[in-house]
């Protein structure tokens, strides 16, 4: 199995962009010595981890007869297919064919293996295509690498197209309505004007007449992986650290399902970090899940063609900008773009 440039632009737009990194699942999903089947960009993959923590990601397809390697046996540095025992290492190379030692399959790299990185408790993988197999440069979100910032990962899977999840994050105005009853987004005006401000890594979509009150701005960052950054004011009762930040990413599982990753972070260290963690786990986390549940319920209730029958206005500039960007990239990644354009 190989991601191929022969797919249409419509397929790429529905299942996820290529030639970039995507989050896959939390690192805790794959224990040392463990195997886990995952789906990403509409394809089945196998994650397996050696006892020393080294992680590999392979196409979930034995090169012999196509059986799923995820049903096989973990042999430390390789996986043995359950069907006929063919062994494949973390690079996708066949190391042994027990039924016929010396078989010409041995020593050949026949299974797609993706580059992987782990950051902030999540597994990221590079999904290239036939023409771009080598990973692009990856610059990780600063809140996930700064030692003075404490980030806590929240992961969920929603039955929505991945683009709906991303568009939701580029829509700050929904916070004043959908999340009005929450503990942090109850304040501020329900009318606003917005602007797009370009940056060297993406763009800000922000209110021009309100700042530091509600979900007033969001930044889309394209640094080898797509992520958003936003800030929500917090009262002193929420402990040290100032504003509460969120880094968000989305994994296109398939055309109708998305894995959402939210890192909640604050600038805290030492005893303040301990205080923040305690307050978060005991008082704040449950409230944040309630906010995410509001997003999930709304997005899952929307029809699959919701973005084909709309009447947009000024507040939707961030969403429109995102769609144009992703549709153009999908067309660029498809050799069939002129014959099969994104609707």
Domain boundary among 62, 95, 127: 127
Q: Does the residue 340 lie in any domain?
A: no
Note whether 282 and 153 are same-domain residues.
Answer: yes
Q: Does the residue 297 lie in any domain?
A: yes
Mean pLDDT on 253-259: 97
Domain boundary among 92, 127, 162: 127
Mean pLDDT on 111-136: 95
DSSP 308-322: GS----GGGHHHHHH
* Residue found by looking up tokens 């290239």 in the block: 128
Residue 229, CA distances (Å) to 169, 179, 215, 243, 294 in order: 9, 18, 11, 12, 20
Task: List the domain range (segments joined by +) for residue 53.
Answer: 20-127
Q: Does the residue 254 lie in any domain?
A: yes
Note whether 107 and 190 are same-domain residues.
Answer: no
The CATH number linked to 273 is 3.90.380.10
Q: What is the mean pLDDT of the chain?
A: 89
* Residue found by looking up tokens 């990403």 in the block: 40
Q: Does the residue 269 lie in any domain?
A: yes
Asked whether residue 340 carries a pLDDT value surpassing 50, the answer given is no
**Count of the separate structural domains present in the chain:** 2
The CATH number linked to 65 is 2.102.10.10
Mean pLDDT on 198-224: 82
pTM: 0.91
Secondary-structure percent of the chain, ordered helix, strand, coil, rounded to 5:
25, 30, 45
pLDDT the model gives residue 338: 44
Note whether 115 and 49 are same-domain residues.
Answer: yes
Note whether 191 and 318 are same-domain residues.
Answer: yes
pLDDT the model gives residue 9: 92
Asked whether residue 336 carries a pLDDT value surpassing 70, the answer given is no
Per residue in 65-103, pLDDT (tens digit) is 999 999 999 999 999 999 999 999 999 999 999 999 999
Q: Which residues make Cβ contacts (< 8 Å) with residue 227, sequence separation at least 6?
A: 141, 220, 221, 247, 248, 249
Mean pLDDT on 206-233: 82
């Amino acid at each position: 199995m190989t991601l191929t440039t022969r797919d249409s632009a419509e397929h790429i737009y529905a299942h996820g962009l290529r030639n970039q990194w995507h989050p896959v699942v939390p690192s805790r999903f794959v224990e040392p010595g463990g195997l886990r089947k995952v789906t990403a960009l509409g394809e089945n993959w196998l994650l397996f981890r050696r006892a020393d923590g080294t992680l590999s990601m392979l196409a979930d397809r034995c090169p012999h007869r196509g059986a799923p390697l995820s049903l096989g046996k973990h042999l430390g540095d390789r996986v043995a297919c359950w069907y006929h025992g063919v062994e494949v290492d973390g690079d996708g190379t066949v190391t042994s064919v027990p039924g016929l030692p010396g078989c010409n399959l041995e020593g050949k790299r026949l299974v797609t293996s993706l580059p992987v990185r782990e950051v902030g408790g999540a597994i990221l993988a590079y999904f290239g295509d036939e023409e771009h197999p080598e990973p692009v440069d990856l610059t990780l979100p600063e809140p996930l690498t700064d030692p003075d910032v404490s980030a806590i990962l929240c992961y969920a899977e929603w039955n929505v197209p991945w683009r709906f999840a991303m568009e939701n994050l580029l829509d700050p105005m929904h916070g004043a309505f959908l999340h009005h009853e929450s503990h942090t987004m109850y304040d501020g005006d329900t009318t606003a004007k917005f602007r797009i401000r370009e940056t060297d890594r993406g763009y800000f979509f922000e209110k021009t007449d309100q700042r530091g009150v509600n979900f007033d701005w969001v930044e889309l960052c394209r640094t080898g992986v797509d992520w958003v950054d936003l800030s929500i004011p917090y009262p002193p009762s929420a402990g040290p650290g100032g504003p509460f930040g969120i880094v968000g990413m989305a994994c296109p599982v398939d055309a109708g399902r998305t894995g959402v990753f939210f890192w909640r972070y604050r600038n805290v260290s030492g005893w303040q970090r301990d205080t923040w963690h305690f307050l978060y786990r005991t008082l704040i986390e449950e409230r944040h899940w309630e906010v995410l549940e509001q997003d999930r319920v709304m997005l899952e209730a929307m029809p699959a063609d919701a973005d084909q029958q709309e009447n947009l206005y000024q507040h939707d500039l961030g969403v429109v900008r995102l769609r144009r960007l992703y549709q153009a990239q999908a067309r660029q990644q498809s050799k069939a773009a002129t014959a099969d354009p994104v609707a």
